[in-house]
Amino acid sequence: MKPTPLSRDFLLKRGFCCYNGCTNCPYMTFKDYQDKAVETAIYGAGNAIIYPALGLANEAGEVLGKIKKVLRDKNGDFHHLDTRMAIADEIGDVLWYMAALCKDLDIPLESVANRNIIKLLDRRARNVIQGSGDTR
């Protein structure tokens, strides 16, 4: 069964972007997100780096927990919108901790995304995208 397509209005009402160039689009860059997200950080300078690192691991576990419960309780059916949005909310928490950790390390989140895509495209070009090892 194919996931239900999401309408532009549905996405916009929930803070998602349809990417159609609308004038009031909530779409933002990684820099915009990082700047806004870190304004909500309240863990204090003494816990810089370690707090968001631990939070990132915790929230990643919560994403996996949501997925596990879909397998257990919904027979692996990810097609319901509520199910996907609940997982999206947890992924959003992962993103928040990524932004906070990058800020504490003085690394722009956008730079992390760019470096990662460059790495992946290079691996694909060299036909080593599969396999293991950080330096393949």
- Any domain includes 94: yes
- Any domain includes 65: yes
Q: What length does the chain have? A: 136
What's the confidence (pLDDT) of residue 90? Answer: 97
Phi, psi of 127 (to 5 degrees): 60, 40
- Any domain includes 6: no
- Any domain includes 70: yes
pTM: 0.79
- Any domain includes 1: no
Residues in Cβ contact with 90 at an 8 Å cutoff, skipping those fewer than 6 apart = 59, 62, 63, 66
* CATH code: domain of residue 42: 1.10.287.1080
Instruction: Show pLDDT as tens, one digit a residue, over the chain (136 residues).
Output: 454 555 666 666 666 655 555 555 556 789 989 999 999 999 987 999 999 999 999 999 999 999 999 999 999 999 999 999 999 999 999 999 999 999 999 999 999 999 999 998 888 888 998 878 877 7
- Any domain includes 24: no
- Any domain includes 45: yes
Evaluate whether 49 touches 104 at the Cβ level (below 8 Å): yes
- Structural domain count of the chain: 1
- Any domain includes 7: no
Evaluate whether 63 touches 91 at the Cβ level (below 8 Å): yes
What's the confidence (pLDDT) of residue 32? Answer: 87
Which domain, by its residues, includes 72?
30-125
What's the confidence (pLDDT) of residue 1? Answer: 45
What's the confidence (pLDDT) of residue 3? Answer: 47
Phi, psi of 5 (to 5 degrees): -65, 145
Q: What is the dihedral of CA 28, 106, 58, 42, to 10 degrees?
A: -80
Give the separation between CA 123 and CA 130, rounded to whole angstroms.
8
